């Protein structure tokens, strides 16, 4: 065999993988209708091919590629936050499908072009990644027994994004400096999103939002106030770390202090009780665990301006109403904006002045005996103060009342002032959702009912006391996982999240204690809040956990004695590249079908059934497991008078999502229009949604008599798509 030919053959194989992956992603990008994404894909493929042809291992160019790749991955958690935040939080399928494709391309490029693409892989990362990979596969496979494969595909694609973030950032060998830089970049990204949200509230005339956005409680750009509130709480944790840790450069300490007033005001404007509680708990825990040397100077600079900013925001009563963009509210917003801006400047200037004192604090040392005495005394005094304040304010009695209000699910008192909700502890229907979720878990303890189906069964089983509450998720990651994926899925989730938390515990971290304390408290706050809200479904809030978690789990540059690590061979690289290319099939099909479906929905809403049918047919051809295209086809065919075709289309929609009451309801309507007996489907829709006025009216009409004219009028009035809320 010609030895000289071996490198050439290997390079050809590498080029083939890069070209194949790039061609697939570029095709998907153009098919999805995104010209910009398609052009970016072409440019990326061209650059990758050039690098694959030009760069040789061991050269200066190879080292430069390695450094650039590391920089990209360190910035990845923050970049994901920004992208998802301005894509409705990443809630909808097209957003996380795009990100999955981007991450898969990055994985292929890193695997094929970098000398040691898996330098960070070790046992800890392998356990977490393995659990998350199995969870993703289990989620996808659950469509087999739920009979709703499209729902399972959407949920699995989101899990795939988290898995890729974990693996990609974790592929870097861990160093304290890399962790510091990735956390700084993530903090900057989160603060940027939070400040962008704030300016839309205090300067609505300068930065207006979409009139269709429900923004009485501040939710832009994520579109959900509780998610934005929790993101702001994370920003507060990380900014406190930035301004109090003396291992941060002086500019970072100043920037951290300057950001805190704006961050705190944003959290207030979300009026999110859970985010405020989780953030407050995490801030206290960070101080206790990190014990940063710059705590005195950091708090002295940041705390007073932050309190003033929050007081100003809280005092703006017109910004706490359902119409915060009126002329009077806008004027008040300008005043609050000025106060917050001055507070940010004051905090930054004060922190800059106190930087000189940090030098003395850095050099201050206590001998071990005195140190233990001081720490013990501080804990004792702190506990005594807390207990005294708690008793003086009668907090135990109040806490008991609030707990009773929470578990009894007392509705929030009607009030035009959103500030009033901060004083109440109502669970807003969460207790009932969790009870339904646990009942569903009892029916399928091992495997669950299937990913993405909780909302369907909630509609069927919700209590009569809160019939107006429509939800798709259980407002608890853990309850929903038990219900939908059973004990197997729940165990895999716990292994993945537990591994990340264990990797960030700030014990025996030496000089990096405050760094790990920030990571640990931020991750713990997210994990706690995810137990009472649908944070998992909002990658803008969750993706950073897996990115930074992967880096915390990664093997260090200096491995333990006896640990062996060598760069992967060509065969393994090609196998990973091919696997990533195949994995892109799911998100690629999902993205294109979602874009076509959006086109079909928009055309249907305009009354343009010609375009709606064309778009829906295209979406159905691309991904036939989705029921929504058949719903569009059915309603458009009945509008055109092709009633038998409409019945066939709605029957196919029901086959692909049999527990969805809306498809059963639609099928009953089009069967009536076709002169066929609609009673079986009407009864099924009533069983699946027993409290909805539409299903009740349909059932009443059919019980009285077969009044076809009333049925046709009902169809014309209630003909709506399930994807349009």
What pLDDT digit, counting tens, does each position of 374-396 carry?
Answer: 667 766 776 776 677 666 656 56
Q: What is the mean pLDDT of the segment spanning 492-520?
A: 95
* Tokens matching residue 528: 């706690």
Q: Does residue 588 lie in a domain region?
A: no
- Rounded to 5°, the CA angle 547-551-555 comes to 150
Which contiguous run of DSSP H or E holds residue 327? helix 327-363
Given this model, what pLDDT does residue 3 score? 40
Which residues neighbour 80 within 8 Å (Cβ) at sequence distance 6 or greater?
Answer: 99, 165, 539, 540, 543, 544, 547
Alpha helix positions (H), 224-326: 225-244, 250-270, 273-290, 295-315
Q: Does residue 283 lie in a domain region?
A: yes
Contact 481, 454 (CB under 8 A): no
d(CA 518, CA 515): 5
CA 520 to chain CA centroid, Å, is: 18
> Are residues 273 and 209 part of one domain?
yes
- Check residues 244 and 105 and name the one with the higher pLDDT: 244
Q: Does residue 117 lie in a domain region?
A: no
> Are residues 406 and 282 part of one domain?
no
Of 361, 396, 420, the last residue of a domain is 361
Helix, strand, coil percentages, rounded to 5, for the chain: 75, 0, 25
Contact 245, 273 (CB under 8 A): no
Alpha helix positions (H), 465-569: 477-504, 513-530, 539-553
The torsion angles phi and psi of 212, rounded to 5 degrees, stand at -80, -5
* pLDDT one-digit tens code per residue, 67-111: 888 999 999 999 999 999 999 999 999 999 999 998 998 898 888
Residue written as token pair 């005094």: 381
pLDDT above 90 for 234: yes
Q: Does residue 64 lie in a domain region?
A: no
Q: Of the given ranges (166-180, 420-434, 497-511), which has the lowest mean pLDDT?
A: 420-434
> Are residues 341 and 230 part of one domain?
yes
Q: Does residue 644 lie in a domain region?
A: yes
Average pLDDT, the chain: 87
> Are residues 393 and 265 part of one domain?
no
Domain that holds residue 665: 596-718
> Are residues 603 and 674 part of one domain?
yes
Read off the CATH number of the domain in which 638 is found.
Answer: 1.25.40.10
Provide DSSP, 144-170. Answer: HHHS-HHHHHHHHHHHHHHHHHHHHHH
> Are residues 712 and 619 part of one domain?
yes
Which residues neighbour 723 within 8 Å (Cβ) at sequence distance 6 or greater?
Answer: 597, 601, 628
> Are residues 380 and 330 part of one domain?
no
Given this model, what pLDDT does residue 2 score? 44
Report residue 541's pLDDT band, with 50, 70 and 90 as the boundaries.
very high
Which residues neighbour 41 within 8 Å (Cβ) at sequence distance 6 or greater?
Answer: 22, 25, 26, 29, 105
> Are residues 413 and 330 part of one domain?
no
Q: Does residue 536 lie in a domain region?
A: no
Which residues neighbour 467 within 8 Å (Cβ) at sequence distance 6 or greater?
Answer: 691, 692
* pLDDT one-digit tens code per residue, 625-667: 999 999 999 999 998 989 999 999 999 999 999 999 999 999 9
- Check residues 538 and 64 and name the one with the higher pLDDT: 538
User: Residue 392: how many CB atoms within 10 A of its CB?
Assistant: 8
CA 88 to chain CA centroid, Å, is: 10
> Are residues 342 and 204 part of one domain?
yes
* pLDDT one-digit tens code per residue, 657-691: 999 999 999 999 999 888 898 999 999 999 999 99
d(CA 169, CA 550): 6
* Tokens matching residue 191: 């603060």
> Are residues 302 and 403 part of one domain?
no
d(CA 464, CA 129): 42
* pLDDT one-digit tens code per residue, 121-160: 999 999 999 999 999 999 999 999 999 999 999 999 999 9
Query: Could you tell me which of 525, 470, 501 has the C-alpha nearest to residue 662?
Result: 470
Report residue 208's pLDDT band, with 50, 70 and 90 as the boundaries.
confident
pLDDT above 80 for 501: yes
Query: How many structural domains is the chain composed of?
Result: 3
* Tokens matching residue 255: 């920037």
* pLDDT one-digit tens code per residue, 691-706: 998 999 888 888 776 5
Q: Does residue 54 lie in a domain region?
A: no
Which contiguous run of DSSP H or E holds residue 333? helix 327-363
> Are residues 636 and 607 part of one domain?
yes
Helix axes 693-704, 661-673, angle to 10 degrees: 40
d(CA 699, CA 259): 57
CA 141 to chain CA centroid, Å, is: 22
Of 327, 361, 395, the last residue of a domain is 361
d(CA 360, CA 527): 37
The torsion angles phi and psi of 642, rounded to 5 degrees, stand at -90, 75
d(CA 636, CA 719): 10
> Are residues 403 and 265 part of one domain?
no
Strand-pair partners of 174 = 556
d(CA 96, CA 105): 14
Of 405, 428, 451, the last residue of a domain is 428
Residue written as token pair 């910035």: 75
Q: Does residue 587 lie in a domain region?
A: no
Local structure of residue 174 (DSSP, 8 states): B
User: Residue 512: how many CB atoms within 10 A of its CB?
Assistant: 15
Q: What percent of the chain has pLDDT over 70?
A: 81
Cis peptide preceding 221, ω within 30 of 0: yes
């Amino acid at each position: 065999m010609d030895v000289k030919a071996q490198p050439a053959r290997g390079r050809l194989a590498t080029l083939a993988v890069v070209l194949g992956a790039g061609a697939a992603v570029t095709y998907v990008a153009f098919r999805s209708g995104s010209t910009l994404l398609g052009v970016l894909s072409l440019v990326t493929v061209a650059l990758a091919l050039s690098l694959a042809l030009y760069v040789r291992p061991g050269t200066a160019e190879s080292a430069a590629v390695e450094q650039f790749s590391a920089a990209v991955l360190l910035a990845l958690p923050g970049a994901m936050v920004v992208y998802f935040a301005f894509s409705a939080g990443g809630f909808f399928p097209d957003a996380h499908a795009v990100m999955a494709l981007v991450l898969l391309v990055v994985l292929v490029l890193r695997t094929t072009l970098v000398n040691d693409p898996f330098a960070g892989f070790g046992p800890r990362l392998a356990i977490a990644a393995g659990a998350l990979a199995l969870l993703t596969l289990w989620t996808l496979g659950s469509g087999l027994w739920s009979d709703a494969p499209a729902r399972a595909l959407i949920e699995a694609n989101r899990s795939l994004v988290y898995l890729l973030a974990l693996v990609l950032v974790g592929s870097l060998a861990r160093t304290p400096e890399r962790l510091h830089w990735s956390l700084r970049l993530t903090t900057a990204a989160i603060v940027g999103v939070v400040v962008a949200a704030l300016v839309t509230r205090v300067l609505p005339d300068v930065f207006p939002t979409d009139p269709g956005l429900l923004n009485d409680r501040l939710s832009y750009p994520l579109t959900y106030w509780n998610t934005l509130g929790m993101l702001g709480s994370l920003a507060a944790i990380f900014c406190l770390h930035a301004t109090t840790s003396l291992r941060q450069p002086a500019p970072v300490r100043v920037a951290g202090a300057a950001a805190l007033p704006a961050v705190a005001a944003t959290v207030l404007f979300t009026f999110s009780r859970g985010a405020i509680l989780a953030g407050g708990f995490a801030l206290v825990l960070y101080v206790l665990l990190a014990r940063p040397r710059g705590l005195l100077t950091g708090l002295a600079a940041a705390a007073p301006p932050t309190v003033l900013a929050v007081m100003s925001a809280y005092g703006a009563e017109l910004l706490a109403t359902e119409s915060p963009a009126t002329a009077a509210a806008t004027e008040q917003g300008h005043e609050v904006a000025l106060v917050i801006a001055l507070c940010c400047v004051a905090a930054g200037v004060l922190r800059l002045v106190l930087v000189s004192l940090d030098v003395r604090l850095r050099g201050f040392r206590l001998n071990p005996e005195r140190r233990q005495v001081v720490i013990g005394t501080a804990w004792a005094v702190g506990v005594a103060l807390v207990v005294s304040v708690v008793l003086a304010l009668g907090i135990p009695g109040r806490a008991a009342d609030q707990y009773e209000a929470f578990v009894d699910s007392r509705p929030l008192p009607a009030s035009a002032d959103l500030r009033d909700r901060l004083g109440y502890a109502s669970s807003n229907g969460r207790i009932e959702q969790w009870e339904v979720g646990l009942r569903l878990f009892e029916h399928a303890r091992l495997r669950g009912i299937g990913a993405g189906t909780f909302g369907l069964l909630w509609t069927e089983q919700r209590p009569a006391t809160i019939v107006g509450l429509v939800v798709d998720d259980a407002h608890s990651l853990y309850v929903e996982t038990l219900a939908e994926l059973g004990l197997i899925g729940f165990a895999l989730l716990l292994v993945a999240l537990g591994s990340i938390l264990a990797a960030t515990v700030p014990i025996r971290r030496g000089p990096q204690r405050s760094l790990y304390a920030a990571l640990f408290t931020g991750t713990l706050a997210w994990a706690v809040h995810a137990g009472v809200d649908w944070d998992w479904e909002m990658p803008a809030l969750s993706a950073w956990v897996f990115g930074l978690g992967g880096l915390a789990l990664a093997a260090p540059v200096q491995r333990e004695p006896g640990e062996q690590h060598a760069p992967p061979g060509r065969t393994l690289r090609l196998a990973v590249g091919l696997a990533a290319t195949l994995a892109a099939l799911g998100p690629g099909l999902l993205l294109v079908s979602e874009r076509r479906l959006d086109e079909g929905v928009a055309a249907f809403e305009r009354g343009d059934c010609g375009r709606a049918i064309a778009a829906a047919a295209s979406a159905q051809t691309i991904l036939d497991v989705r029921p929504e295209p058949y719903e569009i086809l059915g309603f458009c065919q009945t509008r055109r008078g092709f009633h038998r075709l409409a019945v066939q289309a709605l029957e196919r929609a029901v086959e692909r999502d049999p527990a969805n009451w809306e498809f059963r309801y639609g099928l009953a309507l089009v069967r009536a229009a076709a002169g066929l007996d609609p009673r079986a489907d009407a009864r099924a829709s009533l069983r699946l949604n027993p409290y909805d006025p539409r299903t009740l009216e349909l059932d009443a009409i059919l019980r009285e008599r077969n009044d076809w004219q009333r049925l046709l009028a009902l169809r014309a009035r209630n003909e709506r798509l399930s994807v349009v809320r």
